[in-house]
Every structure is written in structure tokens, then in C-alpha cells.
Structure 1
Amino acid sequence: MGTSELLIGLMSGTSLDGVDGVLARFDGQGRPTVLAHAHRPFSAVLRDELLALNQSGPDELHRGALAGNALAELQSALVGELLTIGGMSAQAVRAVGSHGQTVRHRPGEFDGTGYTLQLNQPALLAERCGIDVVSDFRSRDVAAGGQGAPLVPAFHAMAFGGQPAATAILNLGGMANLTLLPAAADPAPVRGFDCGPGNALLDFWIQRERGQSYDTDGRWSAGGQVDQALLARLLDEPFLRAAPPKSTGRDLFNPAWLLPRLTGTLKPQDVQATLAEFTARCAAEALVAQASDTTTLLCCGGGALNQDLMRRLQALLPDLRVSSTDSAGLPPLQVEATAFAWLAWAFLHRQPGNRPEVTGARGLRVLGALHPA
């Protein structure tokens, strides 16, 4: 592990806005330098199909396979774009780490093992790109009794850890997850867990009410008033009170969960404001409960660009410095894709990619499956 290697990371999250990708150079210790970043949006047809596949439906095995093919074609185009931006050939890249698109996340159910399912066609991606592809990062952790999520805390520890004081990373994608990093002199383990919804409910509501895919800068929510009765109903969710390890997804926080709670006469803009406050409260209250010694909160994911959401977090955490991961050298839209490039690097070097303290797995595990070019 003494020489540097180029890897590509691809991530499409529960926000369903598209695929983010990075081309990164990893040193012998697995520390990345991002050389290129690009994003490919989902077409409306693919987005709607991926969203529909989060629920049972007719002919879903066939439809899921076709959606995986479409995702691989989009990923392949993104890989080509990254190579062009970075001025690299496919032969120069050791591997692509491809997360795929989560459509079901049900760990711990049934026989106690459960499952997590990401639509993906890594063999097709390898065929199109001519680069080895590492995928299926979550299922090994689930097989070991873990949640299979969140997986990013191990990367967060490497990228943002070792600070003089305790630091937290909040990923605000479709769902939200927290990573709790102890101070450099503290021997406590890295911890992390899903803390509630991120952008999923906010995006659903503004799309339904205004036909927009997301609330740019949080402008619409900023102009509304928080409905305290609605906020109380939203916060009365057992998942929020459950102790870590825990993970969630659209299986829980979805329109079918939200709509029955919208009782009475509510202005649509006030609902948006309340959903923003709910998202911020879920994260802030979880952080205070689990790591009251934290001094800095670094935010990543699309929600880190929502200025109203960031203001609400700062107001709820007045004693913390709240900022995006930009302040730590990695732009918020690059963090997750870089994490999956790092997970691919860890797989290639047979390094564990999970943290048992985070997922609840029985131990450290090498994560992923290889599809050679």
C-alpha cells in the first residue's frame, strides 16, 4: 500500500436527484485527493420508477432489473465525464466504487438478519467502462448482524477525525445520519447512526405543492411559520427515541407516513417550514443526547446547501460551530461519492469498511463484491 492509486466513487442516494461521482487519488494510507467531480441527474422517468420501486408493485423484478440497467448506463456516462475532466484514461483507474440505488432497507427483520437492497448492474458498468467495479457494500455488514448503514462513519473518521475537540458530521441526503468523532486524545470509538429524514420529506412536499424538485436555499421554508402541533406529531415517532445502532430510509419516512399527520387547516408553506424544523430538530436533539461534548458540526449532502436548514441547526445548537464540510477541505456534494471510492479502496486492500460500534455488526468486515472489467 505504498503507492498512490486512482479510484472513482459513484453515489446515488435517497434524495433521488441523480448520481454524484468523483475521481480521486488515494495515497498509500487511503487518504484521498479529489481530482474531478461531476453529477448526472436522473431523468423524470427513471426517478419516478426508482421511487415507485420503493414499494411493492406489479412486475417489480423485471422493472427493477431494467431500472438497474438504466442506472448503469447513466453511471457509465458519468465515469466517462470524470475521466475527461481529470484527463485520465480508463486504464489508469484501479476501480470504480458503485453504491447503487437503495430501494428497500429492512435490516433485522424476519429471521433477525433482514436485508438491504440496492438496484445496480455492476457487471454492465464494468463492461461499459472497462474498469473493475466494486459494489454491494452493505450486505456483508447485514449478514454479520449489522444494519448495513450508515457506512460513511469509517470514511468520516479518516477524512475529518483527529481534531483537538469532538466533532460531528451530519450527512443531509434524502435521510440524515450523524457521525460522532471523539477528540484526538479520547480513546472512545467512532459512533454513528441515522437520525431521521434529511431532504426526502422536504422535496416531496415542495414538488407536490409547487412543482419544484427541491427548495432552493430553503427560501420557501424560510418564509413559513412552524406549526407547533404538527411538529409535535412528527416528533412523536418511535424511531427517533430508539437507541443506536439504527438506520432508516424511505421504508419509514415517506408520504404515507407524513400525510396522515397533516390534520387540520395547514398552509402549504407552513408545512414546509415545519418539515425543515423537524429535520433540524431530529439531528440536533440526537446530537445533544449522544455527544454533548461536541464543539463542531460539519454538514454535507444536498441539505448543507439549504441555508434555512443550516440556520435552524445553528439556532438549535448555539454553542456549536455549524458549517459545511467545505470548511474542512471537502465540498458537501463530494463527500458521499468520495466515501464510496474509499470503500472500494478498502475492499481492494482487504481493509474493513464498517464500524461495528456504528452498525451493530458482530465485528469488522471487508465490504463489497468485485466485478472485473
Structure 2
Amino acid sequence: MSAPAATMNVPLFCAASAGQGLDLPALLSEVVESQRYILGRHVQVFEEAFAAYLGVPHAIGVANGTDALEIAMRALKMGPGKRVLSVANSGFYASTAIRCLGAQPVYAEIDPNTLNLSPEALAKALAEQRIDAVVVTHLYGRLADMTLIAPMCREAGVALIEDCAQAHGARHAGRLAGAWGDVSCFSFYPTKNLGALGDGGALATRDAALAERLRALRQYGWGAKYEVAHEGGRNSRLDELQAAVLAAKLPLLDASNARRRAIAARYGAAFAHLPLQAPLADGEDYVAHLYVVRSARRDALRAHLASRGIASDVHYPVPDHRQPVLGSTQADVQLPLTELACAQVLTLPCFLGMTDEQVEHVIAAVLSFHDGMA
């Protein structure tokens, strides 16, 4: 394989891809002409289409993914005195929502191969302590092992919240991320596999009563207009423009996921003989939201890529239980697999709109780094 020019620049994400394939001026004009910008027809159309795509009866648009997590926990009555389990390698997003509610975070170990919640660690936690809810994050686009996790939570009588912010369209046996738990949470930040032109989020559920609470909580806790019937309501609404964009992009999601997966597969084939751990890209349970490798020489590899004009990032360098904001409150928590992963993970470019030449340039740079180690 001949190496492309060393001067080629490869971003981690291309902002232009957020609007790829859309007639944005027409969408914008349609929303403006409707003179309805909040909770109008476009939000309703997207909510119905997204629910149908997921295979659940209810989808509720909100302002962003973190709001979705917090509203989901509020609707499930999480708060002071409640214990919510999550992993500690997923950017503190679930931890932010847990702490906003005054609940207690409980951290469980990850599976070192998938970097998702370990079913064995979950089983141990459920057997040894009281857990009121579980947040399972489908990290980097990889569906967690829901065939084990979902029934485990049901049998324990524990609420199951899916964080699907990085896994739009991931599925196992035809069942999509977002269709396994009591409630699921989505972010539509522009870099997501289904991304808006700004912030946006959604909740999804099969439970009609829970859906009613979620809808009320996203708008002040109203039962009827100006009548506050639910404690903990807030102003968190998906706007009409973002809903119009998302509704237009939703039919393209599976094809764009296939393109991401194809890039990941090319990486995996090229890196198979290298001393780094690359994600498997051989099934629909992985949608390559982020292409994350593990390297014992991460910082050196990252510097090498930068010298070749290739952007990279670390998702995420500080595990939740070691974040400075927590002080010493989690000092006794030991998660060696999580901590090792956070010290080794490195995200390579993998995005819709990435050219074959850019893919080859990244491959050549990674290979040249390891050739230099020989």
C-alpha cells in the first residue's frame, strides 16, 4: 500500500457532514413559514417516525441528551436516597444527571473487550447491594450485552435506562438500541450518527404512563397548560428546526451507519497484526459512532498522527470516579479495568463523508508508527 501525501489533513469529524444529503434552505424555509418553532408539526412528525424506527410506541423530543437522562431518572422517581449504577468510562454524562437529582452514583466494572458494562459486574452489584436503577451506556456505537443485562434488571426489579447517545441504529437480532429498557435516552448533537444542526435529544419508552410523565417533565411539569401537576419539571424541548432536520435524516441513518462500519472494517483489517486493540466491526450491533483503539503507547501514537495532519481525541481520559468534582467521595472505588482503558483509548477519524484517501492516510500513519517501533 502506497502512503498518501504526508500533508493530507484528516479531521476527527467533518461539520459539513451534519447536513449531508439535505436541502437545508428548504427545510429552514418550511419551518419559518409555519410560524411555529416549538412543539409543532415537525416535532410530532419526527417523534412518530423515530418511535416507529425504534419499534416502540412513544418517543419524546427534548433539548439534549443530558436532559434526557435527567428527565428519565426523574420520571422513574430517582433522587436523594436512590442508588443508580453506571459505568465510569463514558464521559460523566450519566453521572452529571445522577448528581443533579441528588441520587448516589454506583460504579460497576466494564467488559475489557467491548468497554461496555460487564454483565458479570452488574450481577455482582445486584447481589451485594441495593440498586434502584441501572444506566447502561452503549459506548462508541457498540450495543451492550442487553440479552443478559435486560432480563437481569427485570428479575431484580431494577429500572433500566439505556443511554443510546452513541448508538443510533445499533441492533441485535433486529431489536434496536433504545428498545430494551424501561426508558431510553438519545442525543442528537451534530457529531452523532443521527445528528441535528445543534443540540437536541429524545426519550423513548413502551410504557404509556411513563411517556405521559416524560412529556410533562420536559415542559415545566404541566398536566394541562399552566397547570403544574408533576414535581421536577423543566423547560427542555426539541425545537421545530432540529426536528425537521432529524426527520429528513432518519431514513438515511442505516445507510450512513453501513458506511461508518465499512470504514471501521478497513481499519480493523489493516490493524489486525498490530499491538493495539481495535473494535470488531462485523455486525449490526456496532455502528462505529467512534472508532476507538487501545494502545499502551497512546500519547506517542497520537503525536505521530498529529505530525501527519490527522486529528484524534481521547474518549474519555478521566474515569467518573476519579473526577476532581467528586473529591475523595469515591476514593475507595477500585475499577482497574476501567482505569486501564481510560489510559489507553484513542479515537481515530471515522465519519460520514470521510474519503477513501483519508482512510488510507490514517491507515498508513498508524502502520508507519508501528513500523518505527520495530
Question: Shorter-chain TM-score: which interval?
Answer: under 0.3
Give the structure with the larger strand fraction.
1
- TM-score, with normalisation over the residues of structure 2? 0.27
Max radius of gyration: which structure? 2
